[in-house]
Amino acid sequence: MRAGEGAGEGGGAPMSLLERRYRHWLRLLPASYRAGREEEMVSVFLEGSPGVSDADGPRPRWSEIASVAALAVRVRLGGGGDAAPRFLAWGETVRLVALLGLGLQAFLGALAAVSTLRAYGMIGAAAPLLAQAAGPPGSPERLANILGGLAGLLWFVPLAALLLGRPRAARVSVLLALVPGLVQAFLSVFPGSALAGLLTPLVTVSALWAGFHRDARPARRSPWLLAAPLAAGAAVATLYEVIASPAVTVAWIWPWLDEPGLTSAFILGAGVAYARVHAYAPARRTPSWPLALAILALPVLCARLAGLNHAFGFADEVSRIITIGMLGQAALLLAFVVGSAVLGVRTLPAAPARSREGQVGG
């Protein structure tokens, strides 16, 4: 039996049922944090429930459990100068996941918006087949399709808020940006692929809410960074028109031009760039980049694998090439996830010792 589990603080009176349950939930906190503050926290919790006996089957309030869970997230994803180096590294990793994820979603939103404007003739000539399928100009069906194509631009709002150092505004606006994707996934004819495609946005939203907590100091960045996903989206939309030309028959490139493929290209490219930094600039090594890229690559891998469900049903040569390309891309992503995770974990600072627990901030 560990000290404190069956007896009181001084080894005298046995621990009450409520106290044991409080201590159970406090295990959500890192051991280095509990060592210096657990007794004080338990005392405060017990003072809020005076006169409770074991016969009543007492349990911690849900609000108390939620506060402990929120504190555990803030401590483990450190954002202040008093955070332990390991917790600060994990915090920087999750915040980088949020920033990169928002950039990716903004890029995909810009791509969809430019493609929509071109398809409906708002930029250049309209696509005849799409004009027939979308209904007459001014019809509700066409308006709904256009609004759906432009909805991805909502991701620029939380990205701009984050770049301007306003994480609270980013956390609220990102929920609005997520809604169109949820609606499209609900209406999709391929629900499995649609739900897998939502994993990256959901990881981004979760990282934004978890990483930019109240103890994390927001870092302002240049708002001109918004031009990067916008320009990239317009460039890829132009590339689509070139690839779709009858004179161009390069089936192997198609797996890299859908949403999982484009995201894979970005993540793998960023991984190659960081590998060069890690190899040739030891002073700039950090666990945040490889871990963040591994976290982002995992849902993209799931989306790519989900897309294979309806890719094996085609027997023509072009479809076989595309399917082989998708399998190769999935293998690259899997190797990248494993390699980046190992590299990031090896670079992490050591865990804080229990003897320093009272000094670990959160």
Q: What is the pLDDT of residues 194-242, one digit of tens each?
A: 788 899 999 999 999 999 988 887 777 888 999 999 999 999 988 887 7
Q: What's residue 356's pLDDT?
A: 42
147 and 90 in one domain? yes
Indicate the burial class of 295 (C-beta count within 10 angstroms; 0-12, 13-18, 19 or more): buried
The residue out of 168, 198, 233 marking a domain boundary is: 233
Q: Is residue 326 assigned to a domain?
A: yes
Residue 275 Cα distances to 78, 280, 282, 344, angstroms = 25, 9, 11, 11
Say whether pLDDT at 84 is over 80.
Answer: yes
Q: Cβ-count burial of 84 within 10 angstroms (0-12 exposed, 13-18 middle, 19+ buried)?
A: buried
Which residue's structure tokens are 């909805």? 151
What is the Cα–Cα distance from 119 to 127, expressed in whole angstroms? 5
The per-residue pLDDT for 253 is 84
Domain assignment present for 172: yes
User: Could you tell me which residue, 15 or 329, shows the higher pLDDT?
Assistant: 329
What pLDDT was estimated at residue 360?
A: 39
C-alpha angle 147/151/156, rounded to 5°?
145
Asked whether residue 253 falls in the same domain as residue 229, the answer is no
The C-alpha atoms of residue 192 and residue 171 are separated, in whole angstroms, by 27
Hey, what are 76's tokens? 């483990």
Say whether both 166 and 123 belong to one domain. Answer: yes
Q: Which residue has the tokens 């897309």?
A: 307
Segment 149-164 shows an average pLDDT of 94
Q: What is the pTM of this model?
A: 0.86
Which residues constitute the domain of residue 91? 19-30+66-233
Write out the DSSP string of 138-173: T-HHHHHHHHHHHGGGGGHHHHHHHHTT-HHHHHHH
Residue 73 lies in a domain: yes
Token pair listed for 18: 């409520």
DSSP secondary structure code for residue 202 in this structure = H
For helices 156-163 and 167-187, angle between their N-to-C axes, nearest 10 degrees? 160
Q: Categorize the per-residue pLDDT at 245 as very low, low, confident or very high, splitting at 50, 70 and 90.
A: low
Question: Mean per-residue pLDDT for 42-69?
Answer: 87
The model's pLDDT over 106-139, given as tens digits with 9 standing for 90+, comes to 999 999 999 888 877 777 666 666 656 666 666 7
State what percent of residues in the chain have pLDDT above 90: 52
Residue at a domain's end among 233, 265, 287: 233
Closest CA to 75 of 26, 33, 22: 33
Instruction: Kindly state whether residue 45 falls inside one of the protein's structural domains.
Output: no
Of 318, 330, 327, the residue nearest 252 (C-alpha): 318
pLDDT for residue 362: 38
Helices first, then strands: H and E counts in the chain:
14, 0
Domain contains 135: yes
Question: Which of the 8 DSSP states describes residue 174?
Answer: H
Q: Are residues 182 and 303 in the same domain?
A: no
Within a 13 Å sphere around the CA of 222, how many CA atoms are in the beta-carbon half? Answer: 4
Comparing 288 with 309, the larger pLDDT belongs to 288
Q: Does residue 44 lie within any of the structural domains?
A: no
Tokens of 118: 């071109």
211 plus 113 within the same structural domain: yes
Phi then psi dihedrals of residue 147, to 5 deg: -65, -35
pLDDT in tens, 14-52: 788 888 999 999 999 998 889 888 999 999 988 888 877
Structural domain count, the chain: 2
Residues 186 and 321 in one domain: no
| 223 lies in the same domain as 295 | no
Identify whether residues 155 and 293 lie together within a single domain: no
Burial class (CB in 10 A: 0-12, 13-18, 19+), 24: exposed
Residues in the chain: 362
Task: Please identify, among 209, 233, 257, the residue that sits at the C-terminal boundary of a domain.
Answer: 233
Do 301 and 343 sit in the same domain of this protein?
yes
**How many CB atoms lie under 10 A from the CB of residue 126?**
15
| Phi, psi for 168 (deg, rounded to 5) | -65, -45
Least confident window among 172-181, 219-228, 311-320: 311-320
- 191 phi-psi bin (left φ>0, alpha ψ -120 to 50, beta other): alpha
- Tell me: do 93 and 134 sit in the same domain: yes
47 assigned to some structural domain: no
Candidate from 77-86, 173-182, 332-341 with smallest mean pLDDT: 77-86
Output phi, psi for 49, to 5 deg. Answer: -135, 65
| pLDDT at residue 4, as a whole number | 43
CA separation for the pair 70, 265 (Å, rounded): 35
- Look at residue 9 and tell me if it is in a domain: no
What's the rounded mean pLDDT across residues 312-340? 85
Whether residues 114 and 216 fall in one domain = yes
Q: How far apart are CA 72 and CA 30, in angstroms?
A: 7
Give me the pLDDT at residue 233, please: 93
| Residues 210 and 308 occupy one common structural domain | no
